[in-house]
Amino acid sequence: MILGMSLGTFTLIHVLISLVAIASGIVVVYGFLTKQRFERFTAVFLVMTGLTSLTGFLFPFTSATPAIKLGIISLGVLAIAVVTRYLLHLTWRKTFVIATCMALYFNVFVFVVQSFEKVPSLRAIAPTQKEPPFAVAQGFVLLLFMVLTTFAVKRFRPAR
């Protein structure tokens, strides 16, 4: 039981929160690329990404796993995004864009990891996640986010 829920129910809620974070993050990055501010989507993304990390810490674990370490890093990056957006009011625009893109990247990175663990056809081609298909998928995601972040930083100039 986690927060009064079965592990299965808690996992489902955690996954739904993660998917909302990813979907809203995609909209936010689209806004960066098209020079638009999607304030509500930004707020949803930041809150849901924070909840994704925080709920991730509630799963049973016995030692500091890579997932726990990534969650800590993600919360640090998310804190930078929140401060640069809401306290500094985008005066550190580039830092906000980079931190937001990094937070979304971490969510997508974990999505790929979980997909290779849970989807039978993906697990069959990379059962230990040390096989080339897994490396190619994660390499593609990393490259995609490097390109998106570069263009987002160059293009996002919100109206004041």
Q: Domain range spanning residue 49?
A: 7-155
Residue 31's contacts (CB-CB under 8 Å, 6 or more residues apart) are 37, 38, 41, 42, 156
Domain-located, residue 2: no
Q: What is residue 59's predicted lDDT score, i.e. its pLDDT? A: 92
pLDDT tens, 35-58?
999 999 999 999 999 999 999 999
Query: Within a domain: residue 75?
Result: yes
Residue 64: what pLDDT?
85
Domain membership of residue 160 (yes or no) is: no
Cα–Cα distance for residue pair 84/115, rounded to 1 Å = 32
Q: Into how many domains does the chain fold?
A: 1
Average pLDDT score over residue span 64-72: 91
97: closest CA among 42, 53, 160, 141? 42
Instruction: Provide the phi-psi class of 138: left if phi over 0, else alpha when psi is between -120 and 50, else beta.
Output: alpha
Of 64 and 80, more confident: 80
pTM of the full structure: 0.95
Q: What are 118-157's pLDDT values in tens digits?
A: 999 999 999 999 999 999 999 999 999 999 999 999 999 8
- In angstroms, the CA 22 to CA 28 distance is 10
- With respect to residue 124, please indicate whether it lies within any of the assigned structural domains: yes
pLDDT value, residue 61: 85
